[in-house]
Structure 1
Amino acid sequence: MAGSKGGLVGLFKRRGSQNDRKTVTFGDASAVRSLPMYSLLALLGLVFFWYLATQPFGFPDDFKATVDETFQVAADDAEVRNQERIDSGNPNLIEIPFLDPTQRDYLAACAQAPDDQCSSSDYSQFLSPSKFPSPGDTWVAFNRLRTRGFQNETLAGHAGISLWRVIRGMFWGTLIGVPIGFAMGLSSRLRGLFDTPVELFRPIPPLALLPLFIVWFGIGDGTAVRLLIFASVWIMIIAARAGARTVKLSKVRAAYSLGASKSQVLRRVILPNALPELFTGVRVALGVSWGTLVAAELVGASSGLGSMIFTARNNLRLDVVVVGVIVIAVIGVLMDLIMRFAESKLIPWRGKG
């Protein structure tokens, strides 16, 4: 009897401890993590939906076989011409053979084929290539941009130019914004002095000042970088001001009691404790800068991802537009991951009380 009672008590204790752990885990926001497997499943789901939305169904098998054979013959001819050009010393004229036709190629061939071989009534499609490119068309465009380029520049070159502009805009925005933010957080007079211009200019969208920037600074790379500086500086001011105000007064008093000077308090107490807010500001400013990038490169820039997207839009090259958008998104995610890694190394105490 006693054994059974102890067993029941132990069972209830175990159940209670499990419920306690579940309650603590559910209420503890710091225990929530982004699982990579679920992120991968979400990405695969988006790609699969993209494929279904742009995939034409119902092409006759004999028609598809004819198109595949035509592409294979064209690829073989391209390889022969490439070998002839290599032998003659003209490797710059190398052609890129495309072995597999894309959905756009099937649709174009179907539009030119007789009705007894293929007609528009033979297939069904939710989104046509004129509205959104398929994954196959986008992949082909990516390979062409990577090897042949666009606007006399490869895809890597466009991405590097845009990334360098964002880095310069973020650098000068941080260099200008952080001291002003600290000044506003540490001095009542300086806060009163800067508060009015900061609150006046901070809500203004960078695109609203684009015509003025063109008049003041002309067109080209310098104007794009200045627009990115304007987009990031106000965010860094607010982040630095918030970081300076989150420092506990007890830490400042302890530093002064140990004989620290104002510069030492700033470097050893205020700046380390303000790092979490500064990192948050940098991550937000990077997102805003990438969002402003396309518009910033419309001001006469002949290179960069924004310029590539704008030119492709004018030429109705939606596949090039989608490639540019995907590259901007991937670079933005990679930069955010780098910032998260740096944040975990420089401020490992964040979120731990």
Structure 2
Amino acid sequence: MTITTTGDTAAATPRSQPRRTTGAGARGLRTLGLYTLSVLVGVGIWQLIAMKYGSSLVASPRETVSAAGELASDGTLGNSIIASSRRILIGWGLGVVVGAPVGLLVGQIRIVRHLLEPYIEFFRFIPPVAFVTLAVVWLGIGEPSKVVLILYTAVFIVTLNTSAGVMAVNESKLRAAASLGASRRQILQRIVLPSTVPYIVTGARLAMGNSFLTIVSAEIVASQVGLGSLIWTSRNYGRIDWVFVGIITLGILGFVYDRVLRLIAIRVLHKYGAKV
């Protein structure tokens, strides 16, 4: 009887796994179908607006695709994507690397919070576009000025989200760990940091979005290559279709980068509760 029961259980297990796999596959197909439907509806609305206002104001989807092919054929689009992506990723990455540790210090050490909070609260309300001129004067029209502006954009967002995560840690956990003899470093590593990871990921995602907002203004003022520069140059030539190509490319890049960040967070940081 025991052997028969074990065999029945072993036989039932493989049959239950394909059902879960099939269910996940069905959900994936349904999500893909909804995404496709949403995009088609959006393109349809876009086409109707273009038909109403004309190509001088709104480029149609066909005109935009044609313009994208034109810009891609001479390398303008590819060079613009590479230049903007490089600036965004470097500035955003530095913002995360600097903002996360500062946020941990601000959230955990009261004196550090009191010393830095006035500066954080002051500068985070000043938009990066206000510093474009100073960045060009101080750092020149090269890459450093754009990277520093994006770093400025990202660092305060990551710092605030990280510090909020630290201060949201349950006080009873901290007291229990301290009563058991845990040092400040052990409490930081074992309790505070794992509980703060979801907040850091959220801050990183928000900072990525704001980095895309900053890159356009930075490249318009001080760049010959990049998606912001492409949009501004297109305006000077009266090419509305090129403007649409630049705008849509920014949206696609942002969507892709955010999805990649979410995937990495889910795969690498899932044990810390990073569900995004």
How far apart in 1 are the matches of 2:238 and 2:223?
Answer: 19
Q: Does 1:130 align with 2:56?
A: yes
8 Å CA contact 1:225–1:296 kept in 2: the answer is no
Q: Residue 187 of structure 1 aligns with which residue?
A: 109
Q: Residue 142 of structure 2 aligns with which residue?
A: 220
Per the alignment, do residues 36 and 348 of structure 1 end up closer, same or farther by CA in structure 2, a change over 3 Å counting?
farther
Amino acid in the other structure paired with 1:134? S
How far apart in 2 are the matches of 1:334 and 1:264?
Answer: 37
Amino acid in the other structure paired with 1:324? G
- Structure 2 gaps, min length 5: 1-29
Deviation, 1:289, is 0.5
Deviation, 1:216, is 1.8
How far apart in 1 are the matches of 2:81 and 2:207?
Answer: 19
Deviation, 1:329, is 0.3
Amino acid in the other structure paired with 1:147? S
Deviation, 1:350, is 3.7
Deviation, 1:319, is 1.0
User: Which of 58, 66, 72 lines up with 1:140 in the alignment?
Assistant: 66
Q: Does 1:51 align with 2:47?
A: yes
8 Å CA contact 1:224–1:299 kept in 2: the answer is no
Q: Please, what TM-score do these two structures have when normalized by structure 1?
A: 0.65
Q: How many residues align?
A: 245
Moved more, 280-289 or 215-224: 215-224
CA-to-partner distance for each residue in 1:263-311, whole Å, 9 max, x for gaps? 2322222111101111110111111110111111123211111111111
User: Which of 157, 161, 164 lines up with 1:235 in the alignment?
Assistant: 157
Deviation, 1:129, is 1.2
Amino acid in the other structure paired with 1:143? G
Q: Residue 122 of structure 2 aligns with which residue?
A: 200
Deviation, 1:209, is 1.6
CA-to-partner distance for each residue in 1:18-49, whole Å, 9 max, x for gaps? xxxxxxxxxxxxxxxx9443332221111012
Q: Does 1:331 align with 2:253?
A: yes
How far apart in 2 are the matches of 1:175 and 1:127?
Answer: 46
Deviation, 1:261, is 2.8
How far apart in 2 are the matches of 1:250 and 1:174?
Answer: 29
The structure with the largest helix share of the pair is 2
Q: Residue 35 of structure 2 aligns with which residue?
A: 39
Please state whether the residue corresponding to 2:148 is helix, strand or coil. Answer: helix
C-alpha RMSD over aligned residues:
2.0
How far apart in 2 are the matches of 1:139 and 1:348?
Answer: 42
1:57-76 alignment runs, 5 A limit: none
Q: Residue 235 of structure 2 aligns with which residue?
A: 313
8 Å CA contact 2:141–2:222 kept in 1: the answer is yes
CA-to-partner distance for each residue in 1:56-95, whole Å, 9 max, x for gaps? xxxxxxxxxxxxxxxxxxxxxxxxxxxxxxxxxxxxxxxx
Amino acid in the other structure paired with 2:149? L
Per the alignment, do residues 263 and 348 of structure 1 end up closer, same or farther by CA in structure 2, a change over 3 Å counting?
closer
Please state whether the residue corresponding to 2:53 is helix, strand or coil. Answer: coil
How far apart in 2 are the matches of 1:259 and 1:187?
Answer: 19
Deviation, 1:259, is 4.2
Please state whether the residue corresponding to 1:138 is helix, strand or coil. Answer: helix
Larger RCO (CA within 8 A; separation ≥ 6): 2
How far apart in 2 are the matches of 1:265 and 1:212?
Answer: 42
8 Å CA contact 1:220–1:299 kept in 2: the answer is no
Q: Residue 11 of structure 1 aligns with which residue?
A: none
How far apart in 1 are the matches of 2:237 and 2:33?
Answer: 39
8 Å CA contact 2:154–2:208 kept in 1: the answer is yes
8 Å CA contact 1:239–1:281 kept in 2: the answer is yes
Q: Residue 347 of structure 1 aligns with which residue?
A: 270
Please state whether the residue corresponding to 1:282 is helix, strand or coil. Answer: helix
User: Which of 156, 165, 184 lines up with 2:87 in the alignment?
Assistant: 165
Amino acid in the other structure paired with 1:40? T
1:4-15 alignment runs, 5 A limit: none
8 Å CA contact 2:136–2:222 kept in 1: the answer is no
1:250-329 alignment runs, 5 A limit: 250-329=172-251
